[in-house]
Amino acid sequence: MRKILVTGGAGFIGSNFVRHLLHTYADCQIVVYDKLTYCGNLDNLQDVAERFAGRYTFIQGDIADAAAVGAAMQAHGIDVIVNLAAETHVDRSLMEPDAFLKTDVYGTYVLLEAARQHGVERYHQVSTDEVYGEIPPGYRSLETDPVRPRSPYSATKTGGDLLCLAYHNSFGLPVTITRGANNIGPYQYPEKVVPLFITNALDDQPLPLYGDGRQVRDYQYVLDHCEAIDLVMRHGRPGEVYNVGTGHETENIVMAHAILDLLGKPYSLIRSVADRPGHDRRYALSVDKVRALGWRSSHSFQQAIEKTVRWYVDNEWWWRKLKSGAYLDYYRQWYGQRLAEADRP
Ligand code: NAD
Ligand code: DAU
């Protein structure tokens, strides 16, 4: 596994994953292939480009463009593809699902075809716990459970997963899939709840909490997730799915209080706003299978949120400029009415 194509490598998890690979393996060559959508950002890889110039290449391209993907594979003699390129925000999938279908379904198909034609050693698909849908209290999703996606985002991610499994079954492509819980940490675009709440709180702006704030998520530190992806890509069995999470459940209101406590800001910044339509109340994963490969999450929720808050406090240069222009248009469109009608929880 020397020449690795990381699609979506300029995004949040992708850039952390690239940094992890280059620091961990002295012999690997990384080609990042990324369209640079609103979420993709070369600032996320600035340190990588400087420090690992000889082992890192960036190509701007769309995973749905078969000719461009094929050219990148050929030019760099790629032997592994890790696909992190996706449209990733549930709320945007409710506003404009079109790009989700093009990237998360059709783009995955293009990459699988390229993997097949070039005879790669491994194709790894980074997927999500959201494919299992809403999980009732007391239960944890197993990799063998039926998929029941409930948002356009999770439906298109499920489509990608099913194509991967079909390519393994039909063509023997050596595919693995990880289904991760919510990631937090450096370089996450400030539309996702944790960086949104941290950066709003730093500016004494309201924190728009959906509904009663009692929805449950497993917030895991991004580097733990990256280590699991790396392990499964190398040692996971082809054709298999691996869940990745801490197994620790946190209600959104508890997450919001933790952020405000760390920043020394008042809980009165929280506003209870109209809920996300079709909002999945709870996700929870069984992670025994990835643990059996030797993976352990290294961060508790408290450690993960502390490191994350510290990073945004220290890296205003990174996020401040993102919260302008098209971001503000999106913010007004999605939150304007919600915040105008908001209550204190
Ligand atoms: P992100 O939105 O931060 O980054 C996505 C990256 O993909 C961006 O750099 C973007 O420019 C790129 N991209 C989008 N469309 C593309 C296209 N057509 N061609 C090439 N590049 C394209 O996302 P993230 O949070 O880093 O998520 C990465 C992957 O991990 C996604 O597949 C997501 O579904 C999955 N995932 C995310 C989480 C999470 O909590 N963030 C949890 C589990 C799984
Ligand atoms: O579970 C894995 C998924 O985690 C990934 O597949 C997705 O790509 C990633 O975006 C994330 O999805 P979520 O919808 O869980 O993340 P988000 O940060 O949007 O929301 C987390 C929780 O916080 C969710 O219950 C909704 C709530 N929320 C979110 C926003 C943006 C709020 O209460 N207010 C908000 O403003």
229 lines ligand 1 (CB under 6 A): no
Residue pLDDT tens, the chain, 345 long: 799 999 999 999 999 999 999 999 999 999 999 999 999 999 999 999 999 999 999 999 999 999 999 999 999 999 999 999 999 999 999 999 999 999 999 999 999 999 999 999 999 999 999 999 999 999 999 999 999 999 999 999 999 999 999 999 999 999 999 999 999 999 999 999 999 999 999 999 999 999 999 999 999 999 999 999 999 999 999 999 999 999 999 999 999 999 999 999 999 999 999 999 999 999 999 999 999 999 999 999 999 999 999 999 999 999 999 999 999 999 999 999 999 999 766
CA–CA–CA angle 278, 107, 176 (5° rounding): 85
What's the pLDDT score for residue 344?
Answer: 63
139/285 Cα distance (integer angstroms): 8
Q: Please name the residue whose Cα sits nearest to atom 29 of ligand 2.
A: 193
108/162 Cα distance (integer angstroms): 10
Q: Please name the residue whose Cα sits nearest to atom 8 of ligand 2.
A: 88
What are residue 56's DSSP bridge partners? Answer: 30
Domain positions in the chain are 2-184+221-244, 193-216+248-281+299-335
Report the catalytic residues: 129-130, 153
215 lines ligand 1 (CB under 6 A): no
100 lines ligand 2 (CB under 6 A): no
* Cβ burial 285-319 (10 Å sphere, 16+ → b, else e): bbbebbbeeebebebebeebbebbbebbeeeeebb
92 lines ligand 2 (CB under 6 A): no
For the CA of 36, the closest atom of ligand 1 is 11
Query: How many angstroms is it from 87 CA to the middle of ligand 1?
Result: 6
129 lines ligand 2 (CB under 6 A): yes
Query: How many angstroms is it from 158 CA to the middle of ligand 2?
Result: 17
198 lines ligand 2 (CB under 6 A): no
What's the pLDDT score for residue 50?
Answer: 96
Query: How many angstroms is it from 268 CA to the middle of ligand 1?
Result: 33
Query: How many angstroms is it from 185 CA to the middle of ligand 2?
Result: 14
Secondary-structure class of domain 2-184+221-244 per CATH:
alpha beta
What would the CATH number be for the domain defined by 193-216+248-281+299-335? Answer: 3.90.25.10
